[in-house]
Amino acid sequence: MPPAPPPQQPKNRSRVPTPTGENRRPQRRMESRNASERAAFFARREAAAVLRRVLRGDATRRAAGSIKSLVYSPTVRNKRATFALVCQTLKYLPILKEVLASSEILSSKWKKQEELVYVTTYDILFGQGIAVSGSVEQLIMLQKDSLRTTLDKVCARKRVRCVEDLLSNKSAVKPKPRFLRVNTLKVTTESVIEELNKMHMVDKDEMVPDMLVLPPGTDLHNHPLVTDGKVFLQGRASCMVAVALCPKPGWKVIDACAAPGNKTVHLAALMNGEGSIIACELNKERAKTLQHTVRRSGANNIRIVNGDFLEVDRNDPSYAEVHAILLDPSCSGSGISTERLDYLLPSHSRDSQDDAGTSSRVMKLSAFQKKALSHALSFPSVERVVYSTCSIHQAENEDVINSVLPLATSLGFELATPFPQWHRRGLPVFQGSEHLLRTDPEDGLEGFFIALFVRKAGPTSEEPSEDATVEVRTKQVRGRRNGVRAFSSLRLSRMILW
């Protein structure tokens, strides 16, 4: 048999030895760079969409949500990059507007993409500087040298050495513990602690049932426990509101101003998923957020009403057996303005010029709050009403309570003391204000206000003790199997249909 012919060399290939792994690194770096460029490209567009809603809401004073809530909504995929871009663009926005004013970019067809122009200009001038084949990116890259020259002129005119000196001295958020609430409709607190202890230090809150405390800066937004609705990233003061109402399993409850729904689904958990909750929300967009929160929680005893709570007929037979009402109405949000990053908004500098606590906006909010609280107290069978705000202004808190006290007394209500062990009470502006509860950033919490009205005549006139609350929660946990609430086929069908 003749020997096999030698293997032929491939055409157009030199006889240089096969490249090593070191020679392949540039290709991998190029692929990595392309991936980074694509990520930056899409993050700018997500940031521009969020920025548009933030700026429009700030201009009309009808915000669809805070910066954080908009960024961490389900529609945003690259949350970390989007959040950074939105915050930094807002921080540099006055400078960006001044620099872009020297060009004709925003006076042309690009005006329709104004927010994307802001985000891209920030990212190219001050951020990563990564640009890919996008029309806005190409536009800013063509103008880059001209924009930098204008920026240098602005610094020279204002006699500052660098761009950072042009930034206003705005407040920064002080690090606070990360609070989260275990959704006991789906899982037990002990199982969540066991899971989180693998990566974080976890402590149980001493006052709020099923609340866990993690170190500041802990990011859990993409954790499966959060995305699956087994835990909710919710502040401690916010969780105190539903606990103060202390609804019993089987009750009919109204959440009067429900969106985004964290307190609503907390009520469902406290009620062990039994009874019914009517969640009212006037704003259509916020009602969609409420729907998403309810679905994520797994609660099947919540009915969403897209309408005005003030128009709910208290004499309607369907509301005749309402036992409790949680009223957390629209407010100035002054108690959570730092957490919401309101200091980054254009309106922040305008507000600081006036006494925000007595501004016309706060007075209008206060008038609405009084009307809503009076309406809540007028339901014939209601036994417990909680009024809460995330405001620090007296006009929205103590003044509202004081104004409705005569009506409340005539209807058989009196002020009770939620969380009597809590040290910070209401401002001493009327007799009985010691029953009210306030939280403050000095406590490492948000600025919240809570008032609890209890009808004197009736089986629930006595304030439930802390031990009783813990006992109820213990029974609820024991009633679950493997931490997950079992759904009957009928309930499951109703959920799917809803």
CA dihedral 276, 279, 284, 288 (to 10 degrees): -60
Is residue 104 a known part of a binding site?
Answer: no
CB of 326 closer than 8 Å to CB of 241: yes
Is residue 198 a known part of a binding site?
Answer: no
Which residues on adjacent β-strands are paired with residue 324? 253, 384
Identity of the amino acid at 88: Q
Is residue 87 a known part of a binding site?
Answer: no
Three-state DSSP class for 323? strand
In the chain, % helix, strand, coil (3-state, to 5) comes to 50, 10, 40
Is residue 263 a known part of a binding site?
Answer: yes
Take residue 74 and report the two structure tokens written for it. 């389900």
Among 193, 257, 294, smallest CA distance to 389 is for: 257
Q: Given the structure tokens 């802990």, which residue do they identify?
A: 218
- Give the DSSP letter string of 479-491: TSBTTB----HHH
Is residue 261 a known part of a binding site?
Answer: yes
Q: Which residues have C-beta within 8 Å of that of residue 448, sequence separation ≥ 6?
A: 237, 238, 240, 241, 335, 388, 389, 390, 437, 438, 439
CA angle 326–446–339, rounded 5-degree value: 115
Is residue 259 a known part of a binding site?
Answer: yes
Q: How far is CA 78 from the centre of its chain?
A: 17
Among 181, 225, 178, 115, smallest CA distance to 339 is for: 178
What are the catalytic residues?
390
- Give the DSSP letter string of 201-233: --EE-SSSTTEEEE-TT---TTSHHHHTTSEE-
Is residue 308 a known part of a binding site?
Answer: yes
Q: Given the structure tokens 């509101």, which residue do they identify?
A: 241
- Pairing status of strand 322-327 against strand 302-305: unpaired
Q: Which residues have C-beta within 8 Å of that of residue 386, sequence separation ≥ 6?
A: 241, 244, 245, 324, 325, 326, 327, 418, 450, 451, 452, 453
The sign of the torsion formed by the CA atoms of 430, 434, 439, 442 equals positive
CB of 160 closer than 8 Å to CB of 183: no
Considering only CA atoms, give the Rg of the chain.
Answer: 28
Nearest-angstrom CA–CA distance, 289 and 303: 14
Nearest-angstrom CA–CA distance, 332 and 172: 20
The 10 Å Cβ neighbour count of residue 369 is 26
The 10 Å Cβ neighbour count of residue 181 is 26
CA angle 389–177–190, rounded 5-degree value: 100
List residues forming the annotated binding site for S-adenosyl-L-methionine.
257-263, 281, 308, 328
List residues forming the annotated binding site.
257-263, 281, 308, 328
